[in-house]
Amino acid sequence: MTTMKAIWVEQVGEPDVMQLRDVPVPEAGEGQVRLKVEAVGINFADVLAVKGQYLTRTQTPLTPGMEFAGTVDQLGPGVKGLQVGQRVAALAGRGGLAEYAVVPAQTVVPVPDGLSAPEAAAFPVSYYTAYITLVTLGHARPGETVLVQGAAGALGTALIQLARAMELNVVALASSEEKLSLARELGAQTTLVSERPDIVEAVREVTGGQGVNLLVEITGGEMFGRSLQMMANRGRVMVVGSASGERATVDAVTLMKKNLSVTGVWLSSMLGEPGVVREAMAVFGPLVQSGRLRPQVGPSYPLAQSAQAFRDILARKTTGKVIIEPQA
């Protein structure tokens, strides 16, 4: 096999810029691994990369797909600790929307046993981000209350599951009752429609007037100011995204009055920290085996319908992790 199908982006823009092309099958070089890609987990960051609006500048031409799972197909010189035929996941930043992908060996991450390919593809970004948000940077303690925005999405569902395993109280926000029903199934004790005009008052009411200890902010813009009003004294706001695309402003006096802290969370920069992945996996393994953590796989699309998958994410039509299967 000398050619393969891949998604190709020559210039950034709306999902329509994504083209399905025949391209050469890549060869694994020094320190690299080639994967036969079985499933790609699509994150909002992938959508932003195609639009040219991600945290880092999009380098074109681009084959999107930051997070994917598959089997090791070829080992490059100098690669140790992996073997052909082994199922792994990769957090390579790009390249997943193709039948085969070559990635640096250090971007290959373990996935817990017993997960299907779509579940494995849905696992790394959402669950490692959830762990870093709640544990590594958020310092959550049993009995505290965490508010999760976008509760029915891939990250939201991971956060709810991990929070419940950590004995946290969960207030889940989502845009519809249908999405909130999933949050309740996963263990969220309190669910609220995020678009209600009195959302600040509602959150304060369900927390007995105290506010929440930890809040996972993915919206940005005007919502960020409301998030600050939902906090308890010494609360921690964890900024994981800015889905609105609008710039948020922080009023220093608001932070001072309640001793609030605001922390940015970006998985890419944390993966270079020694021991972070190892520490998280030690927690994940038993929780996956017991069924307390299970990736919520959403709709699945073939490679040729990648642009439609991105459009559906932008239109907020999906729940769980959107999956694209290049081999389908």
Residue-wise pLDDT for 11-41, tens only, equals: 999 999 999 999 999 999 999 999 999 999 9
pLDDT band at 107 (very low <50, low <70, confident <90, very high): confident
pLDDT at res. 274: 67
Minimum mean pLDDT range among 206-215, 257-266, 313-322: 313-322
Same topology, domains 3-123+296-325 and 126-268? Answer is: yes
pLDDT at res. 248: 83
Domain boundaries, the chain: 3-123+296-325, 126-268
Domain 126-268: what homologous superfamily?
Medium-chain alcohol dehydrogenases, catalytic domain (3.90.180.10)
Encode 4-33: b = buried (16+ Cβ within 10 Å), e = exposed: bbbbbbeebeebebbeeeebebbebeeebb
pLDDT band at 2 (very low <50, low <70, confident <90, very high): very high
CA distance 216 to 214: 7
Quick check: bond before 61 cis, omega within 30?
yes
Architecture in CATH for domain 3-123+296-325: Alpha-Beta Complex (3.90)
Residue-wise pLDDT for 59-93, tens only, equals: 999 999 999 999 999 999 999 999 999 999 998 88
pLDDT at res. 270: 82
